[in-house]
Chain A
Amino acid sequence: MEKRTDKNSYTILFAVLMVLVVGAILAYLASALKPTIDVNKQLEKQQNILYALGVNENDEKSVAFVSTDKVADEFDKYIVKQLVIQGDDVRVDDTAYLIDIKKEQASAKNPSYKRQLPLFLGVKDNKLSYIVPIRGKGLWDAVWGYVAMDENMTVTGIFFDHKAETPGLGANINQRFFMDDFIGENLLDTSGKFAGVDISKSNADPINIDKLDNEVDAIAGATITGDGVSAMIRSELKVYSSYFINLKKN
C-alpha cells in the first residue's frame, strides 16, 4: 500500500503549510526585533567613528570600543560637527552618520545624481581629525570602515570591518596588527596628488617604517580581501580629495 506521506496531494499540502509556518515565524521575529537591532546598529556606527578618531578602550593588542551605554554621550562630546558634501554644496547635518553609504553608492551610478558624502569632524587632544566612512567589496561580501585624517590626508586612525570574510584570513582586517599599520600613511603621493594606500604582497617593509610609500603589508592568504580594501580606499576617498584640496587653498 502506498504510504500516506508519498501522495502528491500530501506533499503539496505539507510544503504549503511549512512555508506559511516558517515564513510567519521568521517575519514575526524579524519585525519584532528590528527596533532593537536598529538601535544596536546606530550605536555601533558611533562606536566605529569614535574608534577611528582614537576614542576607544584599547589595551596593547585588543580592539575595544567605548561601551554602548556611554557611546552616545562620548559621540556628542568628541564629534564637533557632521557635514554632508553634495556636489559643491556643504551643509551641516547632525544625522549625517546615519546616511546609508550602500544606497548612496547605488544611486551614484546614475550620473545625474549627486552623491551625499558624510564627513565627521572630531577633536581629540586638541587635534582636529576628518573622519570619512568607506565601503567596498571583499572576497565574499561587503567590507567597510572609517578613516580619520588630518587636513593633509595623513591617516590618524582607521577602522575596518567586514560582513563575511574568511575567519582567520580576510576576517583579520579588523585586527589591530592590520589596522594600526595604516596610521601615519599619507593618502597623497609625493607630488600632492591623491594616491590611496595599497595593500601590497611584495612590500619589503613589514614593520611599516616608510610612511610615504602608499603601501602597507598584506595579510598572507587574504589576497582578494586585501585588494578589495585597497580598491575601497582608493575609490571612496578619492571622491573626498577635492574637498581637502579646497580646504588647503582657503
Chain B
Amino acid sequence: MGLFKDSNLITDPLADNNPITIQVLGICSALAITAELEASIVMSIAVLFVLGVGNVVISLMRNIIPSKIRIIVQLIVVATLVIIVDLVLKAFAYQLSKTLSVFVGLIITNCIIMGRFEAFALANRPWRSFLDGIGNSLGYAMILIIVGFFRELLGSGTLLGMEVLGNPIDKTGVYAFGYENNGFMLLAPMALVTVGIIIWVQRSRNEALIED
C-alpha cells in the first residue's frame, strides 16, 4: 500500500503543480538549452538523476542540518554530487562526459533542485522525497521537451537533428512552397513566450489555477 498512497507525489508535478508552469522554478535552464530537442532530453535525464538522489541525501540529513546554514549545505550536496558524476564520467566514459559537461553548471544552479530540497526534502522522509524528486523532474522534463520540440521544429526545421521539413538550402519539402525557418525561435525570448503559451493553455483549462 505504502507504495501507492504517495503516487500523487509523481503525478501532481506533471499537471497542476508543474515545477515550471506553476511553481515557476527552473525557468533559466528552460530558456537556455531548449533550442534543440536533444539538449532538452539530455538535460532532463541529468536533472532526473541529480534531483532524485539529492532529495534522498537531503532528506536523510534533514534532522542534523543546522537551519541557519541549510541553503549552503544544500548547495554543497548538489555540487558534490554533480562533480563526482562528472569526474567518474571523465575517467570511464570520456565521450559522454564531453556531451554532458556543458550541462554541469546549469544543473548546479537549477532552482528546481534547490527549490525542492528546501520545500520538500527538508521536511519529509527519504522515500517520499525520492518520489517528489522524480515527479518534479518529470514535470520539468515534460515542459522542456515540449518547448524544445517547437523551438527546434519552427526554428531549424529539424527534430533531433533530422530534417523533417525538407532542406532549406536546396528548397525541398515545405521550403519549396516558400516556407522559411523562424530564426527568432532559436533565441531565448521565444522560449519564454512558448512557456507563457503553455501556462496560458493550462490555466484556461483549469480555472482553479488562476490567482486573483
Residues of A that sit less than 8 Å from B by CB: 3, 5-6, 10-11, 14-15, 18, 22, 25-26, 29-30, 33, 36-37, 40, 44, 61, 68, 161-169, 171, 206-207, 220-221
Contact of A168 with B68 in the complex, beta carbons under 8 Å: no
The count of chain B contact residues (Cβ–Cβ below 8 Å) is: 39
Q: Are A11 and B186 in contact (CB under 8 A)?
A: no
Residues of B within 8 A of A167 (CB): 32-33, 35-36, 39, 42-43, 102-103
- Contact indicator A169/B35 (Cβ below 8 Å): yes
Given contacts A162-B102, A169-B35, 14 further A-B contacts (CB under 8 A): A3-B67, A18-B76, A30-B87, A33-B90, A36-B91, A37-B90, A40-B91, A164-B105, A167-B32, A167-B35, A167-B102, A168-B34, A168-B39, A221-B183
Smallest CB-CB separation from B105: which chain A residue? Answer: A164
Evaluate whether A26 and B80 lie within 8 angstroms (CB atoms) in the complex, with A5-B66, A11-B69, A169-B35 already known: yes
Report B-chain residues with C-beta under 8 Å of the C-beta of A14: 64-66, 69, 73
B15 adjacent to chain A (CB < 8 Å): no
List the interface of chain B (C-beta within 8 A of A). Answer: 32-36, 39, 42-43, 63-69, 72-73, 76, 80, 83-84, 87-88, 90-92, 94, 98, 101-103, 105, 152, 155, 161, 169, 183, 186-187
Across the interface, B76 reaches (CB within 8 A) one of A22, A33, A61, namely A22
- Does the CB pair B76–A220 fall under 8 Å? no
30 A-B pairs (CB sep. < 8 Å): A3-B67, A5-B63, A5-B67, A6-B67, A11-B68, A14-B65, A14-B73, A15-B72, A18-B76, A25-B80, A25-B84, A26-B83, A26-B84, A29-B87, A29-B88, A30-B87, A33-B90, A162-B102, A166-B32, A166-B35, A167-B33, A167-B39, A168-B33, A168-B35, A168-B186, A171-B39, A220-B186, A221-B35, A221-B183, A221-B187
- The one of A11, A30, A68, A165 in contact with B66, judged by C-beta atoms closer than 8 angstroms, is A11
Question: Would A33 and B101 count as touching, CB distance under 8 A?
Answer: no
Residues of B within 8 A of A29 (CB): 84, 87-88
Q: What residues of chain B lie closer than 8 Å to A68, measured between beta carbons? A: 94
CB nearest to B181 among chain A residues: A220
- Assuming the contacts A25-B80, A26-B84, A36-B92, asked whether A171 and B68 have C-beta atoms less than 8 A apart, the reply is no
Is there contact, CB below 8 Å, between B66 and A6? yes
Give Cα distance in the complex from A3 to B64, angstroms.
11
Give the distance to chain A from B41, nearest Cβ to Cβ, in Å.
11
A36-B91, A171-B102 known; A166+B33 contact, CB < 8 A: yes
CB distance from A76 to the nearest CB of B (A): 21
- Residues on B with beta carbons closer than 8 Å to the beta carbon of A161: 98
Smallest beta-carbon distance A221→chain B, Å: 4
Instruction: Give min CB distance, B208 to chain A, whole Å.
Output: 35
B residues less than 8 Å from A162 (CB atoms): 102
Asked if residues B186 and A165 are in contact (CB atoms below 8 Å), the reply is: no
Residue of B nearest to A14 (CB): B66
